Amino acid sequence: MPEWKKFTSVHKQKEGLSPGTLVYVGDTESEETVVVTHFFNENDYICSKGMEEPVEGKRTWVQISGLSDIRTIAEIGKRYNISNLSLEDALSTDQRPKIEFASTYFFITMRILDTPDKTEEQISFFVGKDWLVSISEHTSDVLNPVIKQLGSEDNRLRSSTPDRLVHALTDRIADQYLVRADELDMQTEALEELVVNQAEKVTASMIHRHKRAILHLRRISMPLKELFNTLSKGETPFVSASSVPFFRDTFDHVLWLSEECETLRDTSQGLMEVYISSLDMKMNRIMKVLTIISTIFIPITFITGMYGMNFIHMPYITKTAWGFSFVIGFCIVLSIWMIFWFKKKKWW
């Protein structure tokens, strides 16, 4: 199904609903909801399944995967004073990456890129003073390195505030984008070499699919500039001064990503132009050869047509035994002479 039809269908699911209505909106079947609660401080880390009450002296990360159990998600949102308008955005999986601020938390929406085993998904982070709630469409392995870091003996992440944890999570997702940009860059170079040297091995659909992949990465990464620029300024009470340099570092990466996407987009547009030019040049070479062959046969056709007329008296050939051989030989010599002439003029 074309992409525009798919998104029209997604938006249709919310038609007529009042703002703040909690309903799953997506183009795939909602996955079973799994809740994992992480408690951590500089001395300890505890991970338990299900929703647990906050523990005094420990920071809390509630990790929600799967959007089928709306009631559980709403209860967790109520526990942390998350508004239904924010939860509605987390449940609507067609959101543009963005950052919003409320009185007791700030809200980030991003997209996790697809992998060979998983489709692309949306993930949302709600960050408060001592707590973090993440809501994702599916159970993803992308965040596992951060969870492993929480459970390790390295206390830098454990002893930090939730905004530092959300930086580690969002930076992990941004790294996905950088890797994808590098992959697309290498694919662009390989495709460019094929288009220039072996255009017959390339099709317009290959270039079109490659261009769509670049435009998709550009579309979901462009809003990240505004997102990380806001966090890198440290103008919100939810971002500590110690976390600002980390967000600024990720902002630099996102700037590079944005510039790389623009370069890849321009290159992909040029690829199609070069491909069409290569096809035109190939067709011109074919037409040139066919034209030369036709030109060579024009005098031969004239001679054979003239001497093929059924008159009784024909000069030179009607009363000679060698007339036929003479005409054939003359046509061969004329053809060879014309070929050498074309070569000399560099027409062939």
Identify whether 305 is part of a domain. yes
pLDDT at 219: 93
Report helix angle 162-197 to 244-307, nearest 10: 10
Name the strand (E) or helix (H) holding 106. Answer: strand 106-112
**Can you tell me the distance from the alpha carbon of 348 to that of 344, in angstroms, rounded to the nearest whole number?**
9
Q: What is the CATH number of the domain that holds 51?
A: 3.30.460.20
Identify whether 215 is part of a domain. no
- C-alpha closest to that of 38 among 60, 68, 66: 60
pLDDT at 2: 43
Question: CA 230 → CA 56, 87, 251, distances in Å?
Answer: 31, 21, 9
- Which of these three, 159, 192, 213, is where a domain ends? 159
Same domain, 13 and 154: yes
What 3-state DSSP class applies to 202?
Answer: coil
Same domain, 12 and 153: yes
Exposed / middle / buried, residue 70 (Cβ in 10 Å: 0-12, 13-18, 19+)? middle
pLDDT at 132: 94
- Which of these three, 114, 129, 159, is where a domain ends? 159
Q: What is the CATH number of the domain that holds 336?
A: 1.20.58
Identify whether 275 is part of a domain. no
User: What are the residue ranges of helices labelled H in the chain?
Assistant: 3-12, 70-79, 84-91, 144-151, 155-158, 162-197, 204-221, 223-232, 244-307, 323-344
Q: Strand 98-101's sheet: what is its strand order?
A: 45-49, 34-40, 59-65, 131-136, 121-127, 106-112, 98-101
Token pair in block for residue 182: 């590098």
- Which of these three, 141, 159, 177, is where a domain ends? 159
What DSSP designation does 92 have? B
Question: CA 196 → CA 10, 274, 282, distances in Å?
Answer: 41, 7, 12
CB 59 within 8 A of CB 131: yes
Please tell me the total count of domains within the chain. Answer: 2
Identify whether 241 is part of a domain. no
CB 75 within 8 A of CB 51: yes
**Can you tell me the distance from the alpha carbon of 86 to that of 74, in angstroms, rounded to the nearest whole number?**
11
Q: Are strands 45-49 and 59-65 parallel, antiparallel or unpaired?
A: unpaired
* Separation of first and last alpha carbons in the chain: 49
Taking the CA atoms of residue 176, residue 178, residue 184 and residue 187 in that order, the dihedral angle to the nearest 10 degrees is -100
Transcribe 257-326 into DSSP letters: HHHHHHHHHHHHHHHHHHHHHHHHHHHHHHHHHHHHHHHHHHHHHHHHHHHTS--S--TTTTT-TTHHHH
What DSSP designation does 93 have? T
Identify whether 219 is part of a domain. no
Query: From first to last of its 348 residues, what are the pLDDT tens digits of the chain?
Result: 344 444 445 556 666 566 767 887 777 777 889 999 999 888 888 899 988 888 888 899 999 999 889 999 999 999 999 999 999 999 988 889 999 999 899 999 999 998 888 889 999 999 998 999 999 998 888 889 998 888 887 668 888 889 999 999 999 999 999 999 999 999 999 998 888 888 778 888 898 899 999 999 999 999 999 999 999 988 788 888 889 999 999 999 999 999 999 999 999 888 888 888 877 777 877 787 888 888 888 888 877 777 676 666 666 665 666 767 777 888 888 888 888 877 777 776
What 3-state DSSP class applies to 45?
Answer: strand
Domain of residue 310, residue span: 287-344
Identify whether 307 is part of a domain. yes
pLDDT at 6: 46
CA 86 vs. chain centroid, Å, equals 27
